[in-house]
């Protein structure tokens, strides 16, 4: 028994060491972002940001490129999420509340489309956007993003819609509500968590997306946040970089996403278990 | 884009959605379902917006690409010359030109090595999580989640800063461990070390999903079965090999498949490492190669052919995954 406890202690220590190593890049980003360039240039790295400041953040935020990229990213993401959720919700209703010919093939097609890599499509998308004059356009990019997340969003919402028993709606209809009323008053509120989860998923996808944006948003004026961040890395290839500022910029992009991700993690991890049970 | 940004991926929803499937009420029996079956126009109308946007943003490009892959479509065609039909010539070039072929081989090797490594490391971490105290497990899970949540582009900038040849932490550590040669060494300048760096980063990003999924699978292995095996004198290894592994094989095969699909399309990671000073030509994988052919050289015929190959590979790999999801749907 004692030997076993000792073993657990050792394994636990190992787990903590691995945990620290895994989180280290995130920690390093935050530490570096708080330090002035002089200290990052010194030959000895600084592991604790003692005497650090938020000057890097201030400089990044006041940089005009950041504001522009932020507003473009916000516009594209919100448009794409709104369109994706609205369209996918209707689609999810169709595939989960109705039986029709070709329903299963449609779902199958959605799942396959959902696996298609952007990298295998983006050149054609670029040609298409340029031929309809939608390069560097917020609307154009949002359409591409919405289309990219819709298949999976339908699949995800389909599960939520199917999870609300139709008997509830029927009961409400017996009590005198019309079908529309029953749907709006009974089913829709029960679907709210599912819609939020799907919206967060779509948000994270669109907010982080790099590949398609790189091809379609060719001008500096129309960069999204990931493209703006990439600009720093590109510059680092040819000249000394102010890594403190780059890390502050990274943190500004990453921290909201991390917080968002952690909030929805609870329901996501239960999903993981569920999926694994079914295998 | 689809579900994931390459190996950085946010695949949780995949599992989340799968989770919902079993909850489906078995069979939409009842009069309401019956009456709805009779009005086939409603569901089709509901599908119209999604189908229209999918056809416009994905369907058209796929079709254009298929057609263009049989054409000579280079810079001249961009300036007005009509594209010329060349049949399978682009594909023939792809198979015969060693420099093109090399990209395909490189991509497949990178994908397979990284995917297996990810699943191995993730699986080991999952086993580790089982043997540690609750506190240690939570610490490990939170740090894995941190790595998982990092946007790919932000993660790449941090890693590029860590491996930076002038002031990066990696070289400093190596020099202090006694490897003087690491001073000022540029890891991105040689293809091999470039891919080692890329591989480490991709593994770092992808392991959390695998570790947490496999761990979730492990928690489903019942203690009674394990105890019974232990009473029968099975060693830890035997229990792992003959009891645990067969029970979690479905989870393992799904995550491995997803990793293969995602690692085939690593783009952001490779592109950003190239931007940071890596040599571009010898470090191209499928994604960056298509990008270079299309936007750099304006050779749309060839880049379409490579894209079609990539789409084909992905669909072939995805088929099994999609089928297994559909089996749940049908049941």
pLDDT at B276: 87
Compare all CA atoms of chain B with the CA of A17 and give the residue at the minimum distance.
B140
Q: What confidence category does residue B38 fall into, taking pLDDT thresholds of 50, 70 and 90?
A: low
Question: pLDDT at residue A276 above 90?
Answer: no
Interface contact B161-A247, CB threshold 8 A:
yes
Lookup result for tokens 């293969």: B260
| A236 to A174, A229, B24, B109, B274: CA distances (angstroms) | 68, 11, 52, 29, 11
Q: What is the predicted pLDDT for the residue at A78?
A: 96
- Note whether A100 contacts B150, CB cutoff 8 Å: no
- Averaged pLDDT for residues B282-289: 92
In the prediction, which pLDDT does A272 show? 36
Tell me the pLDDT of chain B averaged across its residues.
Answer: 84
pLDDT for residue A29 is more than 50 = yes
Closest CA to A37 of A255, A180, A204, A248: A248
Which regions of A113-270 does DSSP assign to beta strands (E)?
none
Q: What is the mean pLDDT of residues A39-50?
A: 79
Q: Which residues from chain A sit within 8 angstroms of residue B189, using beta carbons?
A: none
Helical (H) or strand (E) element with B213: helix B191-218
Please give the ipTM for the structure prediction: 0.88
- Chain B residues within an 8 Å CB radius of A44: 172
- What architecture is the B73-330 domain classified under in CATH? Orthogonal Bundle (1.10)
pLDDT digits (tens, 9 = 90+) for A202-256: 998 999 999 999 999 999 899 999 999 998 888 877 777 888 889 999 999 998 8
Using the predicted structure, report yes or no on whether residue A269 has a pLDDT greater than 50: no
User: Could you tell me which residue, A29 or A274, shows the higher pLDDT?
Assistant: A29
* pLDDT at residue B230 greater than cutoff 50: yes
**Mean pLDDT within A142-164:** 90
The average pLDDT across B258-272 equals: 92
Percent of chain A with pLDDT over 70: 93
CA distances to A110, A169, A256, B1, B77 from A80, rounded to whole Å, are 18, 31, 18, 13, 33
Q: In the predicted model, what is the mean pLDDT of residues B91-107? A: 88
The nearest alpha carbon in chain B to A45 belongs to B169
Close Cβ partners of A16 (under 8 Å, ≥ 6 residues apart): B136, B139, B140
Q: What tens digit of pLDDT does each residue of B119-168 get?
A: 999 999 999 998 899 999 999 999 999 999 999 999 999 999 999 888 88
- Chain B residues with CB under 8 Å of A128 CB are 60-61, 64
Q: Are A118 and A206 in contact (CB under 8 A)?
A: no
Please name the residue of chain B whose CA is at the shortest distance from the CA of residue A40: B167
């Amino acid at each position: 028994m004692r030997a076993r406890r000792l073993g657990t202690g050792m394994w636990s220590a190992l787990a903590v060491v691995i945990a620290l190593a895994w989180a280290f890049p995130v920690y390093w980003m935050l530490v570096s972002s708080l330090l002035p360039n002089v200290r990052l240039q010194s030959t000895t790295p600084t592991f604790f940001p003692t005497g650090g400041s938020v000057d890097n953040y201030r400089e990044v935020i006041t940089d005009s490129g950041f504001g522009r990229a932020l507003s473009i990213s916000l516009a594209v993401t919100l448009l794409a999420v709104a369109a994706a959720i609205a369209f996918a919700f209707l689609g999810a209703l169709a595939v989960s509340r109705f039986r029709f010919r070709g329903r299963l093939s449609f779902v199958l097609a959605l799942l396959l489309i959902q696996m298609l890599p952007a990298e295998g499509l983006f050149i054609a998308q670029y040609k298409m956007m340029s031929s309809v004059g939608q390069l560097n356009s917020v609307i154009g990019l949002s359409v591409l993003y919405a289309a990219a997340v819709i298949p999976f969003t339908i699949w995800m919402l389909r599960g939520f819609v199917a999870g609300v028993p139709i008997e509830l709606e029927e009961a409400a209809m017996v009590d005198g509500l019309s079908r529309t009323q029953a749907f709006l008053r009974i089913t829709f509120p029960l679907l709210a968590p599912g819609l939020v989860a799907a919206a967060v998923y779509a948000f994270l996808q669109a907010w982080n997306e790099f590949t398609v944006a790189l091809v379609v948003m060719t001008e500096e004026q129309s960069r999204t946040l990931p493209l703006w961040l990439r600009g720093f890395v590109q510059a680092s290839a040819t000249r000394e970089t102010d890594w403190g500022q780059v890390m502050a910029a990274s943190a500004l992009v990453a921290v909201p996403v991390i917080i968002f991700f952690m909030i929805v993690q609870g329901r996501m991890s239960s999903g993981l278990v569920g999926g694994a049970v079914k295998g | 884009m689809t579900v994931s940004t390459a190996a950085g991926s946010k695949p949780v929803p995949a599992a989340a959605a799968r989770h919902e499937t079993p909850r489906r009420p078995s069979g939409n029996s009842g009069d309401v379902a019956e009456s709805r079956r009779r009005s086939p126009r409603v569901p089709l109308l509901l599908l119209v917006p999604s189908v229209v946007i999918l056809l416009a943003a994905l369907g058209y490009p796929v079709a254009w690409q298929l057609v263009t892959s049989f054409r000579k479509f280079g810079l001249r065609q961009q300036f007005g010359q009509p594209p010329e039909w060349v049949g399978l010539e682009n594909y023939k070039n792809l198979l015969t030109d060693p420099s093109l072929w090399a990209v395909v081989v490189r991509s497949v090797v990178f994908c397979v090595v990284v995917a297996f490594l990810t699943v191995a490391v993730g699986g080991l971490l999952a086993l580790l999580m089982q043997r540690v105290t609750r506190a240690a497990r939570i610490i490990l899970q939170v740090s894995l989640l941190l790595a998982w949540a990092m946007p790919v582009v932000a993660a790449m900038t941090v890693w590029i800063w860590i491996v930076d040849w002038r002031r990066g932490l990696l070289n400093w550590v190596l020099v202090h461990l006694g490897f003087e040669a690491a001073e000022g060494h540029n890891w991105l300048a040689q293809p091999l070390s470039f891919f080692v760096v890329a591989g480490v980063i991709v593994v770092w990003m992808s392991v959390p999903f695998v570790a947490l999924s496999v761990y979730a699978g492990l928690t489903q292995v019942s203690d009674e079965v394990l105890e019974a095996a232990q009473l029968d004198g099975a060693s830890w290894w035997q229990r792992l090999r003959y009891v645990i592994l067969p029970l979690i094989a479905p989870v393992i095969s799904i995550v491995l498949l997803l990793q293969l699909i995602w690692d085939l399309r690593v783009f952001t990671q490779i592109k950003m490492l190239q931007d940071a000073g890596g040599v571009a030509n010898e470090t191209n994988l499928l994604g960056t190669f298509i990008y270079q052919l299309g936007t750099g050289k304006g050779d749309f015929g060839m880049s379409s052919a490579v894209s079609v190959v990539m789409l084909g590979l992905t669909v072939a790999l995805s088929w099994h995954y999609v089928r297994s999801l559909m089996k749940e749907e049908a049941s």
